[in-house]
Chains A and B, each alone.
Chain A
Amino acid sequence: MLAQGPIMLSIDILVNALVTGILLGSVYAALALGLAITFGILHIPNIAHPTLVIAGAFFVYTLAQWGVDPILAALVGLVPFYLLGVALYLFYSRLFERRGGANVLQSLTLFFGLSLVIEILLALSFGSELKSVNVFYIGSSLRLGILTIPYRLLIPALLAPVMIGAVWLYLSRTNTGTAIRAVAHEERALSIAGLNPASIKRHAFGIATATAVVAGAALIMVGPIEPFSGRFQIGRVFAIVVLAGMGSIPGSLVIAIVIGISEALVSSYLNPSWSPGVAFAILLLGLALRPQGLFGAAR
């Protein structure tokens, strides 16, 4: 576990850790994508997002029990999760817009309560044991010289950039995407332009929640999960979104890979049990040193 011998000897450990880190980072970026939209673009502090990802993973798990392929299950889940997101946004906006504008701290508390309720409902219906999916293509490993890549990591890591790329193209190339990026900045200008800000936000929240089911499929392919696994992702996803500069999706991919590599290095050279703290340490340092994010303009 600990590299006792000379560090030179372990070049293959280093290469494997780097590659594992890049692949892990790609999966983390998928987890953070929904938050990059809700928190990064819409400025809604949706701390329930990691829990929604876990809910997505359980959705995929349920269908996989009936023999459905996890990736196909994630595609099936897109519509129900989009609708779930729309419902969540309606609940959120009905509560707070009546009072004239959302108070950040009240919305944080609301999403905190929601995430607990979702976790408990998952625990009550699935039990607290670890759950995983098994498909023929994620059992073995790909070997290239000294490099060993398990397929259960490679497949999700390739799935993630496809989803991230699709969402990024949608946000940057379509009119609706432009409106989503505009809505948090200039709500009034948007309504003058003849668009309904509320329905744009609702749509964006729906998309963000729909990404949770794909991220959940990726997560449950990488390793087993339980209803409370979301807690370990909160530090990671917020580190990614905040340090990427609030809503910069290419930036979030870069930060996610940096975090993935750091965690992989810590677990191969130090001890795997230290790795949950890595993202949080990076987040705190980042907030202290460069609060506007590494890829964001100063605000």
Chain B
Amino acid sequence: MTKNSILFLVGIAIVLVLGFLMPWVLKNPFYFFVGYVVLQYVTIATGWNILGGYAGYINFGAAGFFGAGVYLSAFLFTTLGLPLPLCILAAAIFGAVLGLLMGYLTLRIQGVYFAIATLGLVVVLETIVHNIPALGGASGMAVYGPRQPFWSPGPSQFNFTVMLIIAAAAVTLARFVEISWIGRGLRAVRASEDAAECSGVPTLRLKLLACALSGAVLAAAGAPYPFYTSYMEPVTAFSLIIGLNAIAMPLIGGTRSWVGPVLGALLLASVQQIATVTISSELNILFVGLVLIAFVAFAPGGLAELFGRKQRRARS
């Protein structure tokens, strides 16, 4: 293990310990209620970036994977009574299968078809949920989440800690993918798929793997959501803002490394959480949309590259 990896794991461990201790120090549950959403977006942005950033395949259907996780975990919890960790695991496996399926059907052709297919994924999954009365149909249903265990002072704090564990696992996974042979292969795919294929990189298998991992993280991000809101309905589970943020956050932070999505999510989600008090959700989408266009247009490398460039300029 390299020195950087040890530092990274120590950092993750410190964050996790803080996540368990903070609820006993900070008494106001509101911070954890808001922090949950920020961490949820850290997970979503990280999951999206495994495929979108490393391999360069854009997924417009992040909300589809997220919503699938929401519904599967709520269904397993309320009807079968599975414990929460198993619900999250099942959601991740389901997301991986969904990613594999989407990838298998569309990835053999150009990336643009994959992107288009993911656009339709949300509509289809929403249609399916609308037609299944057991899932509450169009009007949704109430979900009563698990009681918080002894180590957590309240439900908001418990949800926060659960989301923190998922986010930490997602970031660790993303970093592992990035520094391992998978990441090297995916970067080759991104730079030139034909050249990679010719040099013996198993491009299709790598892309399918990235699809599955990305789908698993996106679905896991949705798994605790029904217990957080105590209610699930198609409109919020497959919400437009999730699909938009999933793309905007990595692009703003920078897609080349795991730091970018985390940075972008912390920044954008915090701004959104502060702003929801004052502006409508429409203005929120408008704001994110304009920021997204600005970054695609003028800073395609994201903040990570902007800072990097400034540093290089300062050094030279």
Contacts and interface: CB of A to CB of B under 8 A. Distances in A.
B18 interface: no
Interface string B46-82: 0000000000111010000000000000000000000
B85 interface: no
Contacts of A234: 116, 119-120, 123
Interface in B103-140: 104-106, 108-113, 115-117, 119-121, 123-124, 127-128, 130-131
B290 interface: yes
A156 interface: no
Q: Which 3 A-B pairs have the closest CB atoms?
A: A280-B120, A235-B120, A116-B289
Interface residues of A, number: 39
B292 interface: yes
Interface in A278-296: 279-281, 283-284, 287-288, 291
Given A95-B296, A276-B127, 19 more contacts: A45-B112, A47-B116, A47-B119, A105-B57, A105-B111, A106-B296, A108-B60, A110-B293, A110-B297, A112-B60, A113-B289, A116-B244, A235-B123, A242-B116, A273-B131, A277-B127, A283-B116, A287-B113, A291-B109
A121 interface: yes
Interface in A247-299: 271, 273-274, 276-277, 279-281, 283-284, 287-288, 291
B285 interface: yes
A121 B289 CA distance: 11
Contacts of B244: 116
Contacts of A114: 293
Which secondary structure dominates where chain A touches chain B?
A: helix
A120 interface: yes
A124 B282 contact: yes
Secondary structure of the B side of the interface? helix
Contact of A120 (B56, B113, B119, B285): B285
24 contacts: A45-B115, A95-B297, A106-B300, A110-B297, A113-B293, A117-B289, A117-B290, A117-B293, A120-B282, A120-B285, A121-B286, A123-B282, A124-B282, A124-B286, A238-B116, A238-B119, A242-B113, A242-B116, A273-B131, A279-B120, A284-B106, A284-B117, A287-B106, A288-B104
Interface in A108-144: 108-110, 112-114, 116-117, 120-121, 123-124
Contacts of A99: 300
B217 interface: no
Query: Which of A99, A228, A242 has the most C-beta atoms of chain B within 10 angstroms of its own C-beta?
Result: A242
B247 A116 contact: no
B286 A109 contact: no
Interface of A: 45, 47, 95, 99, 104-106, 108-110, 112-114, 116-117, 120-121, 123-124, 228, 231-232, 234-235, 238, 242, 271, 273-274, 276-277, 279-281, 283-284, 287-288, 291
Nearest to B58: A105
Contact of A108 (B105, B108, B115, B283): B115
A124 B281 CA distance: 11
A105 B56 contact: yes
Nearest to A114: B293
Nearest to B241: A116
Contacts of A113: 289-290, 292-293, 296
B60 to A, nearest CB: 6
B120 A109 contact: no
Nearest to A45: B112
B251 interface: yes
Contacts of B292: 109, 112-113, 116
A104 B111 contact: yes
